[in-house]
Amino acid sequence: MERRSGSTKLAPAGFVVEHAEIDTDCVFLDVRATALSATCPCCGTSSRRTQSRYLRQAADLPIAGRRVVLRVTVRRFWCDAVLCRRRIFAERFGADVLAPLSRRTGRLETIVHHLGLALGGRPAAAFADRLMVPVSNDTLLRV
């Protein structure tokens, strides 16, 4: 069995699972980023000073026939750069992991994209449903 230290494939790269809850048709994973600092999107200064936290939800790859909902704890940091207009910013994750405002992880987005390309709108939606991949007809038609 392949093992990599410091990483778990249960959560996308850069995240650690703090708590898991299994429902009849859903798995909830409480995750947080492992990075100690974040970079201000305005000035590029790195910060380790956490201001607050909030929860964000995103769908991830299904596990054993259950949909997976990531409950991501997102930190807000202080920007300490004197000349920066931004005082507080939220940490960001790579577009391949979890893009800003996206309701799906990057790896789930990839599967949705390929389903759409291979099967086209409606058949892809039916297949996605059988795979427990949460995606709307509209999203697949857009792909």
Residues lying near Zn ion in the complex (CB under 5 A) are found at: 40, 42-43, 45, 79, 81, 84, 86
84 or 131: CB nearest Zn ion:
84
69 or 79: CB nearest Zn ion:
79
CB of 89 to Zn ion, least distance (A): 7
Per-residue three-class SS string for the chain: CCCCCCCCCCCCCCEEEEEEEECCCEEEEEEEECCCCEECCCCCCEECCEEEEEEEEEEEEEECCEEEEEEEEEEEEECCCCCCCCCEEECCCCHHHHCCCCCECHHHHHHHHHHHHHHCHHHHHHHHHHCCCCCCHHHHHHC
CB of 100 to Zn ion, least distance (A): 17
42 or 141: CB nearest Zn ion:
42
51 or 137: CB nearest Zn ion:
51
CB of 38 to Zn ion, least distance (A): 11
42 or 126: CB nearest Zn ion:
42
CB of 43 to Zn ion, least distance (A): 3
CB of 2 to Zn ion, least distance (A): 39
Rg of the chain taking only CA atoms, in angstroms: 17
| Residue closest to 79 by CA, chosen among 53, 54, 33, 48 | 48
